[in-house]
Structure 1
């Protein structure tokens, strides 16, 4: 059993997927498996990845299209590592990421997950935003951090920026496939309510936002769907044991969401 399962769900990712794969294979930490799950791509993605010969890579092609979250859950079920780390088809794992995240979780057995500082990049790998929520490495009390991130924004970042323990996945269950835009955020909160959180103050992932990226296609021009997803997300979080959302939390979240939606529209209009 490998120490880490790096999971790469993909759909029509031919443009950037080899760069994403190379960023995993070049990691200093080598005790991992890289499992690629093609969700019935039509752009040659499966043909590209099926030619790879590295023994650490296993390629799967789903019998039918499972959708974004369905493919995530399918990937976890087929993995075997003690720790799980997603990497999306158009993102990049920076040098030292796996080694540092494994060391952090090994040193802090009560932590359910680990995340780091990260950068947003464009189609040419140019950095368009740096995200560094804290100024030093730290361990955060999970329940307090879960409430903080609910009130403000997804401080953890995208799946490509998080490593979590398999045994906690067995505790909290699969990603919520009823959520279109925030299943990862809801999942990080669930994990945090069951353990503490490690933060590493180094940049260990690049998250790509461009016309071809999954995130851009999800968020552009879908205002009504975003509203429905926000309602479903809040309802899911409020139903969780241990978070105790108050009316003040909901007011702060609404104000924060309004500000971030304005910033997001400006960002996508530029990029």
Structure 2
């Protein structure tokens, strides 16, 4: 075994019971042994710490934070501890789906181009789980490698197609090089980092089942967005994307797409919550009203008809096809003609 492991697994955790046990067990069961597992507990009170202190494998390092750093802060801490050149993020409620997962990840990086900074290994059944035609389309058309600086339109049209943090494997050094995950984006810091990193690094996209991302009510993605606070963070990210795309695309068209597919859905959720006596969500959206969002009154009027038409995201699929068919993106493996065939 090397003095430095080939791959690191970093696991941020806060109140991770009982899922953390399956997460750690999935790493211990790997047939690829040259790894280190770094776990940072963010102040758990549910027995997670007691469990972590029972772990005796020398390849596992446990860190106990005295105060909660937030998910992004905890990730930044973990990346500072990593010694391996490649890191796989594995959140405490997720797990490696087979005993060969790390072997496949290591093999991928052996042949990856030097320009590639990170790769997402996406579950092939995810679109069916979330019942999304838009996600199914995304899985069919996004190239396996997005060259440096050519991911902006894909991020804008598809959103965070990288998906869950646990889907991502990356070169360890790029996190420190790019200043880490921004703690100013507590609910969307991963999305913001991928967009930022794509200016300097190519992105790998593999539809391969290596990680199981668990859907459950206590997931961080739920409690970090339950009051609508992610909306302002998304406005900032999409605003940056629009500015980067503006030299080659019509800003009004970009803004229209964003409002019809993203903003309208958030406003619709806000109106539904009012029926249950929850006014905080919509108030949060009102406070975050800034470019590239339309005025709050325009969104209120448009969100209901747009969302009703967009059931099962069929409207979004049509808009995605329209936006991408007119794209100036040129891929070595996906010419405009091939892209049009895929979209058809």
Fold match by TM threshold 0.5: yes
Counterpart of 2:36 (choices 3, 19, 33) is: 33
**1:1-271 paired onto structure 2 within 5 Å:** 1-95=4-98, 96-108=100-112, 109-118=114-123, 128-129=129-130, 133-135=138-140, 138-220=144-226, 222-223=227-228, 225-235=229-239, 237=241, 243-245=244-246, 247=251, 248-258=253-263, 261=266
Count of aligned pairs: 255
Distance 1:97 1:263 in 2: 39
The residue that corresponds to 2:337 in the other structure is none
1:263 positional shift:
10
Unaligned runs of 5+ in 2: 271-344
Cα distance change of structure 1 residues 13 and 264 upon mapping to structure 2, 3 Å threshold: farther
What is the rounded CA distance, in whole Å, between the counterparts of 1:45 and 1:84 in structure 2? Answer: 23
Q: Which has the higher helix share?
A: 2
**TM-aligned CA deviation for residue 138 of structure 1:** 2.3
- How big is the shift at 1:105? 2.4
Dislocated runs of 4+, deviation >4 Å: 235-239, 258-265
Point out the structure with max Rg over C-alpha. Answer: 2
Cα distance 1:180–1:259, how it changes in 2: closer, same or farther (>3 A)? same
Question: Could you say which structure has the higher strand fraction?
Answer: 1
Describe the shift of the 1:85–1:178 C-alpha distance in structure 2 as closer, same or farther (beyond 3 A).
same
Residue pair 2:123, 2:207 contacting (<8 A) in 1 also:
no
Q: Distance in 1 between matches of 2:65 and 2:123?
A: 30
Decide whether aligned partners of structure 1 residues 258 and 237 sit closer, same or farther in structure 2, where only a CA change above 3 A counts. closer
Moved more, 135-144 or 178-187: 135-144
Structure 1's 120 and 211: CA in aligned 2 closer, same or farther, altered over 3 A? farther
- Per the TM alignment, residue 232 of structure 1 is displaced from its structure 2 partner at its CA by 3.0
Q: Secondary structure at the match of 1:36?
A: strand
Q: Matched residues in 2 for 1:159 and 1:22: separation?
A: 19
Structure number with greater CO (CA < 8 Å, separation at least 6) is: 1
Q: Is 2:76–2:181's contact at 8 Å kept on the other side of the alignment? A: yes
Quick one: distance in 2 between partners of 1:214 and 1:72? 14
The alpha-carbon distance between structure 1 residues 138 and 231, as it changes in their structure 2 partners (threshold 3 A), is closer
Structure 1 runs not aligned, ≥5 long: 122-126, 266-271
* TM-score for the superposition, normalised by structure 2: 0.67
